[in-house]
Amino acid sequence: MRTPVRNANKLSDGGAGPQPRPGVGLIVNPVAGLGGAVGLKGTDGAAAQQALALGARPKSQVRAARALELLSALKNRIDLVCAPGAMGADLATSLGFSCRTLGTAGAATTSRDTRDAAAAMAEAGVSMIMFAGGDGTARDVFDGAPGVGLLGVPTGVKMHSGVFGASPEAAGRVAALVLGSEPARVEWREAEIMDIDEEALRLGHVAARLYGYARSPLERTAMQNCKTPSRRDDDPALDALARRIVREMDPGILHVLGCGTTMRKIKRQLGGEGTLLGVDVALNGRLIATDVDEARLLRLTSGVPFKVITSVTGGQGFVFGRGNQQISAAVLQRAGRDNVMIVTSQSKLVMLDPPCLRVDTGDRQVDAMLAGYMRVHTAPGHTMMMRIAA
Amino acid sequence: MRTPSKAMPTVREVHQARWNEPVVMEMGVPGRRGAVYSAPEAVVEKAVGKAADLVPAAMRRKNRPALPEMTEPDVLRHYLHLSQMVHGMMGVNLFGTCTMKYNPRISTHLTLRPELATLHPYQPEETLQGLLEIVHSFDLILRELSGMDQFVFQAAGGAGAAYTHACITRGYFQARGELAQRNEIISTIQTHPCNQATAATAGFNVITLPLEENGYPSIEALQGALSNRTAALMVNNPDDMGVYNPQIKDWVKLVKKAGALAFYDHANFNGVMSKIRARELGFDACMFMLHKTFGGPKGGGGPAVGAYGCSAELAPFLPKPIVRLDDKTGRYRLDADRKLSVGKVREYFGNLQVVFYAYAWARAMGGDGITEASDLAVLANNYMEKKLLAIPGVVKSQPQMTMHRMEMTRYGLGPLKEETGIGIVEVGARMTDYGVDSPWLSHEPWVVPEPFTPEPGELWSKEDIDYWIAALAKVCEEARTNPDLVRTAPHNAAIHAINGARLDDPAWWATTWRAYKRKQAPAARAGGKAASSR
Domain assignment present for residue A253? The answer is yes
Residues in A touching B205 (Cβ below 8 Å): 381-383
Would you list which residues of chain B are within 8 Å, Cβ to Cβ, of chain A?
189, 196, 200, 204-213, 218, 220-225, 418, 444, 446-447
- Calculate how close chain B gets to A354, using CA atoms only, in Å: 7
Closest-CA distance of chain A to residue B420, Å: 15
Q: In whole angstroms, how large is the CA radius of gyration of chain A?
A: 21
Q: List the domain boundaries for chain B.
A: 21-83, 110-363, 408-498, 502-533
CATH of domain B110-363: 3.40.640.10
Which amino acid type is present at position B62? K
Which distant-in-sequence residues (6+ apart) come within 8 Å of A268 by Cβ?
Answer: A242, A274
Average pLDDT over residues A63-80: 91
Give domain status of residue A225, yes or no: no
- The pLDDT tens digits of the residues spanning A224-255 come to 777 776 666 788 999 999 999 999 999 999 99
Range of the domain at A336: 232-389
Instruction: Decide: A79 and A24 in contact? Cβ < 8 Å.
Output: yes
- Asked if A93 contacts A100 with a C-beta cutoff of 8 angstroms, the reply is no
Residues 6+ apart with CB under 8 A from B170: B179, B202, B203, B204, B231, B342
| Whether A383 contacts chain B with CB within 8 A | yes
In a domain, A87, yes or no: yes
Single-letter code of the amino acid located at A121: M
Which pLDDT does position A4 carry in this prediction? 39
Who contacts A158 (Cβ-Cβ below 8 Å, separation ≥6)?
Answer: A41, A42, A134, A135, A195, A196, A322, A323
pLDDT of residue B147: 98
Q: What share of chain B is helix, strand, coil (3-state, %, to 5)?
A: 40, 10, 50
3-state secondary structure A30-81: CCCCHHHHCCCCCCCCCHHHHHHHCCCCCCHHHHHHHHHHHHHHHCCCCEEE
Q: Is A368 on the interface with B (CB under 8 A)?
A: no
Q: Phi-psi bin for B97: left (phi > 0), alpha (psi -120 to 50), beta?
A: left
* A181 plus A116 within the same structural domain: yes
Both A35 and A86 in a single domain? yes
> What residue in B sits closest to A356 (Cα-Cα)?
B212
Residue A385 to residue B446, Cβ atoms within 8 A: no
Residue B232 is predicted with a pLDDT of 98
Residues in chain B, pLDDT under 50: 1-2, 4, 528-534
In terms of residues, how long is chain B?
A: 534
Instruction: Give the residues across from A384 on adjacent strands.
Output: A376, B208
Identify the residue among B183, B204, B208 best suited for mutation to test binding to A, counting A beta carbons within 10 A and taking the highest. Answer: B208
Q: Which of A218, A252, A276 is the last residue of a domain?
A: A218
| Chain A residues whose beta carbon lies within 8 Å of the beta carbon of residue B218 | 387
Cross-chain Cβ contact B224/A351 below 8 Å: no
Is A203 within 8 Å of chain B by CB?
Answer: no
pLDDT at A177 over 70: yes
Q: Are A382 and B208 an interchain contact pair (Cβ–Cβ within 8 Å)?
A: yes
List the alpha helices (DSSP H) in chain A: 34-37, 47-53, 60-68, 89-94, 111-124, 135-144, 168-179, 198-202, 235-247, 261-269, 294-300, 329-335, 346-350, 364-370
The partner residue sitting opposite B189, judged by closest CB among A350, A354, A372, is A350
Chain B contact for A334 (CB, 8 A cutoff): no
DSSP-assigned letter for residue A223: B
Distance CA A193, CA A146 (A): 11
How much is the pLDDT for B8?
Answer: 80
Cα separation of A126 and B149, whole Å? 72
In degrees and rounded to multiples of 5, residue B325 shows phi and psi of -100, 125
Contact A350 B196 (CB under 8 A): no
Strand partners, B441: B452
Query: Same domain for A338 and A192?
Result: no
The confidence score (pLDDT) of residue A5 equals: 36
Residue A3 has pLDDT above 50, yes or no: no
A387–B189 CB contact, under 8 Å: no
Model confidence at A7, in pLDDT bands (50, 70, 90)?
very low
Share the mean pLDDT of chain A: 86
* A330 and A212, same domain (yes or no): no
Q: Which of B189, B222, B418 is nearest residue A1 as measured by Cβ atoms?
A: B418
A120 and A147 fall within a common domain? yes
- Does the distance separating the beta carbons of B210 and A350 come in below 8 Å? yes
Residue A167 reports pLDDT greater than 50: yes
pLDDT of residue A199: 67
Q: How far apart, in whole angstroms, are the C-alpha atoms of residue B458 and residue B468?
A: 15
Please report the beta strands in B304-424, taking only residues with DSSP state E, as ranges in sequence order: 306-310, 322-325, 332-335, 395-396, 411-412
User: At CA B427, angle to CA B426 and CA B430, rounded to 5?
Assistant: 85
Minimum distance, in Å, between the CA of residue A253 and any CA atom of chain B = 24
Interatomic CA distance for residues B135 and B362, integer angstroms: 13
B223: distance to nearest CA of chain A, Å?
9
* Chain B residues near residue A354 by CB distance under 8 angstroms: 213
pLDDT at A1: 36
Cα A112 to Cα B131: distance, rounded to the nearest angstrom: 86
ipTM of the complex: 0.84
Q: What is the rounded CA–CA span in Å between residue B285 and residue B279? A: 7
Residues A20, A138, single domain; the answer is yes
Please give the pLDDT value at position A41.
65
Would the CA dihedral through A259, A262, A266, A271 be positive or negative?
Answer: positive
Q: Is residue A227 part of a domain?
A: no
Based on the domain organization, do A208 and A266 belong to the same domain? Answer: no
Q: How many domains does chain A have?
A: 2
Under DSSP, is residue B286 helix (H, G, I), strand (E, B) or coil? strand
Å from B450 to nearest chain A CA? Answer: 14
Q: Does A237 touch chain B (CB under 8 A)?
A: no
Name chain B contacts of A387, Cβ cutoff 8 Å: 212, 218, 220-221
Q: Is A248 on the interface with B (CB under 8 A)?
A: no
- Interface contact A373-B224, CB threshold 8 A: yes
pLDDT value for A40: 67
| Contact criterion met (CB below 8 Å) for A52 and A76 | no
Contact with chain B for residue A231, Cβ under 8 A? no
Tell me if A384 and B210 make a contact (CB, 8 A cut-off).
Answer: yes
Q: Which residues of B touch A350 (CB under 8 A)?
A: 189, 210, 444, 446-447
Chain B residues within 8 A of A1 when measuring between CB atoms: 418
- The beta-carbon neighbor of A375 closest among B196, B207, B223 is B207
CA distance B37 to B351: 35
Do A377 and A253 lie in one domain? The reply is yes
Is B224 in contact with A355 (Cβ distance < 8 A)? Answer: no
Q: Chain B residue with minimal CA distance to A221?
A: B213
Q: Are B107 and B360 in contact (CB under 8 A)?
A: yes
Contact assignment for A382 to B211 by CB distance below 8 Å: no
- Model confidence at A336, pLDDT cuts 50, 70, 90, reads very high
Of B189, B220, B446, the CB nearest to A373: B220
Task: Output the pLDDT for position B533.
Answer: 32
Q: Please state, in angstroms and as integers, the Cα–Cα distance from residue B290 to each residue in B168, B267, B282, following that order.
A: 20, 9, 23
Distance CA B476, CA B395 (A): 13
Which of A218, A244, A271 is a domain's end point? A218
- Is B208–A372 a contact, with Cβ atoms under 8 angstroms apart? no
Q: Which residue of A244, A337, A347, A385 to mutate against B (max B Cβ within 10 Å)? A: A385
CA distance A105 to B65: 87
| Contact residues on chain B for A382, CB-CB shorter than 8 A | 196, 200, 205-206, 208
Asked if residue A187 and residue A280 are part of one domain, the reply reads: no
Residue A223 lies in a domain: no
A79-82, strands of its sheet edge to edge: A99-101, A79-82, A23-28, A128-133, A149-154
Distance from CA of A382 to the nearest CA of B (A): 5
- Contact at 8 Å (CB) between A194 and A135? yes
CB pairs under 8 A between A and B: 56
Rounded average pLDDT over A354-379: 95
CA distances from A269 to A203, A283, A342, B249 (A): 20, 13, 17, 45
For residue A252, give the 3-state DSSP assignment.
coil
The separation between CA B409 and the C-alpha centre of its own chain, rounded to angstroms, equals: 18
Whether B200 sits inside 8 A of A382 (CB atoms) is: yes
Q: Please report whether residue A224 resides in a domain.
A: no
Averaged pLDDT, A44-59: 74
Q: Does B200 contact A383 at a Cβ distance shorter than 8 Å?
A: no
The 8-class DSSP code of residue A357 comes to: E
Is residue A38 assigned to a domain?
yes
**Residues B255 and B274 sit within 8 Å (Cβ to Cβ):** no
Instruction: State how far residue B224 is from chain A, nearest Cα, in angstroms.
Output: 6
Closest CA to A167 of A29, A294, A317: A317
